[in-house]
Amino acid sequence: MHNFNEIKTLVGLGNPGPTYAYTPHNIGFLILDRLCDDYHGNWSVDHNMLTASVTINEQKMLLIKPQTFMNSSGEILRHLNKRGIKQENIFVIHDEIDFPFGKVSLKQGGSARGHNGLRSLIALGGENFLRLRCGVGRPDNPADVGNFVTAKFKETPDQVDELISKSINIILSHLAYKNQE
Protein backbone atom coordinates (compact mmCIF):
# COMPACT_ATOMS: atom_id res chain seq x y z
CA MET A 1 0.00 0.00 0.00
CA HIS A 2 1.30 3.46 -0.86
CA ASN A 3 2.17 5.93 1.88
CA PHE A 4 -0.56 8.59 1.88
CA ASN A 5 1.45 11.33 3.62
CA GLU A 6 1.50 13.60 0.59
CA ILE A 7 -2.12 14.70 0.30
CA LYS A 8 -2.01 17.79 -1.94
CA THR A 9 -5.56 17.88 -3.23
CA LEU A 10 -9.05 17.41 -1.88
CA VAL A 11 -11.46 16.33 -4.63
CA GLY A 12 -15.16 16.59 -3.91
CA LEU A 13 -17.33 14.55 -6.25
CA GLY A 14 -20.63 15.90 -7.53
CA ASN A 15 -22.52 17.21 -10.53
CA PRO A 16 -22.31 20.83 -11.73
CA GLY A 17 -25.29 23.17 -11.86
CA PRO A 18 -28.12 24.31 -9.60
CA THR A 19 -30.29 21.25 -10.30
CA TYR A 20 -27.88 19.03 -8.35
CA ALA A 21 -26.59 21.56 -5.82
CA TYR A 22 -28.24 20.23 -2.66
CA THR A 23 -28.37 16.47 -3.31
CA PRO A 24 -26.70 13.39 -1.78
CA HIS A 25 -24.49 12.93 -4.87
CA ASN A 26 -23.08 16.43 -4.26
CA ILE A 27 -22.02 15.98 -0.65
CA GLY A 28 -18.38 16.23 -1.81
CA PHE A 29 -19.07 19.65 -3.36
CA LEU A 30 -20.92 20.82 -0.22
CA ILE A 31 -18.03 19.79 2.03
CA LEU A 32 -15.46 21.57 -0.18
CA ASP A 33 -17.65 24.68 -0.34
CA ARG A 34 -17.60 24.84 3.47
CA LEU A 35 -13.81 24.28 3.59
CA CYS A 36 -13.30 26.96 0.94
CA ASP A 37 -15.36 29.42 3.02
CA ASP A 38 -13.72 28.46 6.32
CA TYR A 39 -10.19 28.84 4.90
CA HIS A 40 -10.89 31.94 2.77
CA GLY A 41 -10.41 30.37 -0.64
CA ASN A 42 -11.96 31.58 -3.90
CA TRP A 43 -13.26 29.26 -6.60
CA SER A 44 -12.01 29.75 -10.13
CA VAL A 45 -12.54 27.84 -13.37
CA ASP A 46 -9.56 25.75 -14.44
CA HIS A 47 -10.14 23.51 -17.47
CA ASN A 48 -13.01 21.16 -16.58
CA MET A 49 -12.96 21.85 -12.84
CA LEU A 50 -13.46 24.52 -10.21
CA THR A 51 -10.36 24.98 -8.05
CA ALA A 52 -9.51 26.93 -4.91
CA SER A 53 -6.23 27.13 -3.02
CA VAL A 54 -6.37 27.17 0.76
CA THR A 55 -3.89 26.68 3.59
CA ILE A 56 -4.94 24.08 6.17
CA ASN A 57 -2.63 23.37 9.13
CA GLU A 58 0.12 25.39 7.39
CA GLN A 59 -0.18 23.08 4.39
CA LYS A 60 -1.15 24.33 0.93
CA MET A 61 -4.16 22.38 -0.30
CA LEU A 62 -5.90 22.48 -3.66
CA LEU A 63 -9.67 22.01 -3.52
CA ILE A 64 -11.23 20.61 -6.69
CA LYS A 65 -14.82 20.22 -7.84
CA PRO A 66 -14.86 18.43 -11.23
CA GLN A 67 -17.36 20.05 -13.61
CA THR A 68 -17.61 17.07 -15.97
CA PHE A 69 -20.62 15.41 -14.31
CA MET A 70 -20.08 12.48 -11.99
CA ASN A 71 -19.51 9.75 -14.60
CA SER A 72 -16.49 11.60 -16.07
CA SER A 73 -14.87 12.80 -12.81
CA GLY A 74 -11.59 11.08 -13.70
CA GLU A 75 -10.97 13.55 -16.54
CA ILE A 76 -9.44 15.94 -13.97
CA LEU A 77 -6.50 13.56 -13.48
CA ARG A 78 -4.85 14.66 -16.73
CA HIS A 79 -4.68 18.27 -15.52
CA LEU A 80 -3.50 17.22 -12.06
CA ASN A 81 -0.71 15.07 -13.54
CA LYS A 82 0.56 18.12 -15.45
CA ARG A 83 0.86 19.89 -12.06
CA GLY A 84 2.80 16.98 -10.58
CA ILE A 85 -0.17 15.77 -8.56
CA LYS A 86 -0.43 12.00 -8.74
CA GLN A 87 -3.31 9.68 -7.87
CA GLU A 88 -1.83 8.98 -4.41
CA ASN A 89 -1.79 12.75 -3.65
CA ILE A 90 -5.58 13.10 -3.87
CA PHE A 91 -8.16 12.69 -1.13
CA VAL A 92 -11.59 12.08 -2.67
CA ILE A 93 -14.80 12.97 -0.84
CA HIS A 94 -17.95 11.22 -2.05
CA ASP A 95 -21.43 10.02 -1.19
CA GLU A 96 -21.78 6.43 0.03
CA ILE A 97 -25.17 4.74 -0.31
CA ASP A 98 -23.95 1.61 1.51
CA PHE A 99 -23.79 3.66 4.74
CA PRO A 100 -26.76 5.04 6.67
CA PHE A 101 -27.11 8.81 6.50
CA GLY A 102 -24.46 10.47 8.66
CA LYS A 103 -21.93 7.61 8.89
CA VAL A 104 -18.51 8.73 7.65
CA SER A 105 -15.44 6.57 7.08
CA LEU A 106 -11.93 6.82 5.63
CA LYS A 107 -10.84 4.21 3.12
CA GLN A 108 -7.61 3.71 1.17
CA GLY A 109 -7.87 2.17 -2.27
CA GLY A 110 -10.45 -0.44 -3.22
CA SER A 111 -13.08 -0.80 -5.90
CA ALA A 112 -15.73 1.68 -7.02
CA ARG A 113 -18.57 -0.50 -5.66
CA GLY A 114 -20.97 0.91 -8.25
CA HIS A 115 -20.07 4.59 -7.71
CA ASN A 116 -19.62 6.07 -11.20
CA GLY A 117 -17.45 8.98 -10.04
CA LEU A 118 -15.02 6.59 -8.37
CA ARG A 119 -15.21 4.25 -11.36
CA SER A 120 -14.09 7.09 -13.64
CA LEU A 121 -11.18 8.04 -11.34
CA ILE A 122 -10.08 4.40 -11.05
CA ALA A 123 -10.38 3.77 -14.81
CA LEU A 124 -8.17 6.76 -15.61
CA GLY A 125 -5.65 6.51 -12.78
CA GLY A 126 -5.97 3.39 -10.64
CA GLU A 127 -7.43 2.90 -7.19
CA ASN A 128 -4.47 4.21 -5.19
CA PHE A 129 -6.13 7.14 -3.42
CA LEU A 130 -7.65 8.02 -0.08
CA ARG A 131 -11.43 8.38 0.16
CA LEU A 132 -13.87 9.86 2.61
CA ARG A 133 -17.11 7.91 2.30
CA CYS A 134 -20.06 10.05 3.44
CA GLY A 135 -23.16 8.02 4.23
CA VAL A 136 -26.31 9.25 2.50
CA GLY A 137 -28.45 6.12 2.93
CA ARG A 138 -30.14 4.25 0.11
CA PRO A 139 -33.67 3.94 -1.25
CA ASP A 140 -35.66 0.78 -0.55
CA ASN A 141 -35.80 -0.08 -4.25
CA PRO A 142 -32.35 -0.51 -5.88
CA ALA A 143 -33.82 0.73 -9.18
CA ASP A 144 -34.36 4.13 -7.52
CA VAL A 145 -30.68 4.77 -6.65
CA GLY A 146 -30.05 7.11 -9.60
CA ASN A 147 -33.02 9.30 -8.75
CA PHE A 148 -32.31 9.10 -5.02
CA VAL A 149 -28.74 10.46 -5.18
CA THR A 150 -29.67 13.28 -7.59
CA ALA A 151 -32.86 14.40 -5.79
CA LYS A 152 -32.81 16.98 -2.99
CA PHE A 153 -31.86 15.68 0.48
CA LYS A 154 -34.80 14.25 2.41
CA GLU A 155 -32.94 15.00 5.66
CA THR A 156 -33.26 18.37 7.40
CA PRO A 157 -30.72 21.14 6.72
CA ASP A 158 -29.41 20.61 10.28
CA GLN A 159 -28.78 16.91 9.57
CA VAL A 160 -26.97 17.76 6.32
CA ASP A 161 -24.90 20.42 8.13
CA GLU A 162 -23.99 17.86 10.78
CA LEU A 163 -22.78 15.43 8.08
CA ILE A 164 -20.70 18.23 6.49
CA SER A 165 -19.19 19.23 9.86
CA LYS A 166 -18.42 15.63 10.85
CA SER A 167 -16.76 15.04 7.46
CA ILE A 168 -14.65 18.19 7.75
CA ASN A 169 -13.51 17.20 11.24
CA ILE A 170 -12.31 13.84 9.91
CA ILE A 171 -10.51 15.52 6.98
CA LEU A 172 -8.80 18.06 9.26
CA SER A 173 -7.84 15.38 11.80
CA HIS A 174 -6.35 13.22 9.05
CA LEU A 175 -4.36 16.11 7.56
CA ALA A 176 -3.10 17.19 11.00
CA TYR A 177 -2.14 13.60 11.88
CA LYS A 178 -0.30 13.12 8.58
CA ASN A 179 1.57 16.41 9.12
CA GLN A 180 2.90 15.14 12.48
CA GLU A 181 4.29 11.85 11.15
The catalytic site residues sit at: 25
Whether the CB-CB separation of 175 and 136 falls below 8 Å is answered with no
Whether the CB-CB separation of 89 and 9 falls below 8 Å is answered with yes
Identify the CA nearest to 32 among candidates 7, 5, 58, 61.
61
Q: Which residues have a Cβ under 8 Å from the Cβ of 130 and sit 6 or more positions away?
A: 4, 7, 90, 91, 92, 106, 107, 108, 174
Residue 133: phi, psi to the nearest 5? -95, 115
Looking at residue 126, its amino acid is G
